[in-house]
Amino acid sequence: MGASQRPLKIVWIYPDLLSTYGDQGNTIVLERRAALRGIPTEMVHVRSDQRVPADGDIFLLGGGEDRPQILAAQRLSRDGGLLQAAQRGAVVFAVCAGYQLLGHEFGGEEGQPVAGLGLLDIRSGRGEHRAVGEIVGEVSTELNVPRITGFENHQGVTHLGQGVKPLAKVVSGIGNGSGDGFEGAYSGHVLGTYMHGPALVRNPGLADLLLRWALGQELQPLAPSWAERLRDERLNAVLSTP
């Protein structure tokens, strides 16, 4: 889709269920970085009692507690809009609880397996220890994204299947927690991560990756901003801590 055509449609899914850690910031930074390049956008907020429009270009899911996560998975499965969009190649970016529910299954309120959407070949459960703190990762080279940084707060353990690739190799922090040293996963244009912060605010390169995927073209470079300076400060602080 070219920038001269219809606006880029960004869909924020279920902010009433999946927005525990300020993940609306991910929508704001996508709008802003698109606007700085003259790319028009249309932002759509879809509550859990509304249908998910299958014609969106970028879909965003945030973090949430156990019960809201289960409700979101059930309603998205019945709705079908996100599944249709992903099947035609739309971009899906999910954080924490949203990341887990994209997989085949995740842990429920008592640790029981709950069926996910199957958009990523991952399976998640509940670990013995909670991962809380800063995380840094070296991103897969094929994504052309700088080192990522974020804040993780989860007890999930996510195992990657053969149908996905890890988003990053953990330099500092826990990430997926499965013992393989990886953080996040992606397949095609579907990407999930445990990083809050919000993730796209702290990692403008990751935001630009989603825009590139959605537009099907390279982007005009932007001058470094306060976000990049803050990101560098966080990276330096984490990596300099013994």
Distance CA 220, CA 177 (A): 36
Compute the C-alpha angle 62/153/80, nearest 5°: 25
What does the alpha-carbon distance between residue 93 and residue 88 come to, in Å, rounded to a whole number? 15
Enumerate the active-site residues. Answer: 96, 196
Residue 154, both tokens: 């989860």
Do residues 62 and 23 lie in contact, with contact meaning Cβ atoms separated by under 8 Å? yes
- Between strands 148-160 and 165-172, the pairing is unpaired
Helix (H, G, I), strand (E, B) or coil at 229: helix
Query: What token pair was written down for 219?
Result: 């982007």
In contact, 40 and 89? CB cutoff 8 Å: no
DSSP state, residue 75: H
Dihedral (Cα; 17, 23, 27, 28), 10-degree rounding:
130
DSSP 196: B
